[in-house]
Structure 1
Amino acid sequence: MTIISPSASEKQSFCQVEYDARNHWLRTTWYGFVNPQQALQSIVSHLDLLSSPLAPLFLNDNSRVLNPWFDSLTWLRYVWESTNTPPPSCVAHVMQPGASANVGDLDTSWTRNAGTDLQLFESVCEAEEWLHTCQHKLR
Structure 2
Amino acid sequence: MLLNINTDPRDHSTCALSYEEENHWLRATWRGYVDPVEAMRGAEAYLLHAARTPCSLLLNDNSQLRGPWFDSLDWLAEVWVPQASRLGLRCVAHVLQADRHSDIIPTRLPDSVPFELQIFQNLEDAQDWLKQWHLAS
Same fold (TM over 0.5): yes
Quick one: percent identity of the two aligned structures? 26
Distance in 2 between the 1:73 and 1:109 partners?
Answer: 14
Shift of 1:3: 0.6
Aligned alpha-carbon RMSD (Å): 3.0
Shift of 1:38: 1.3
What corresponds to 1:123 in structure 2? 122
What corresponds to 1:20 in structure 2? 20
How many residues were matched structurally?
133
What corresponds to 2:41 in structure 1? 41
Equivalences for residues 50-129 of structure 1 within 5 A = 50-52=50-52, 54-67=54-67, 69-71=68-70, 74=73, 77=77, 78-82=79-83, 85-103=86-104, 106-109=107-110, 112-114=112-114, 116-129=115-128
User: Which runs of structure 1 show a deviation greater than 6 angstroms over 4 or more consecutive aligned residues?
Assistant: none
Change (3 A) 1:57 1:41: closer
Q: Which runs of 5+ in 1 are unaligned?
A: none
Question: Does the residue aligned with 2:132 lie in a helix, a strand or coil?
Answer: helix
Distance in 2 between the 1:54 and 1:105 partners?
Answer: 25
More strand by share: 2
Question: Does the residue aligned with 1:54 lie in a helix, a strand or coil?
Answer: coil
Shift of 1:88: 1.6
Q: Which runs of 5+ in 2 are unaligned?
A: none
Does the CA contact (< 8 Å) of 2:26 and 2:58 recur in 1?
Answer: yes
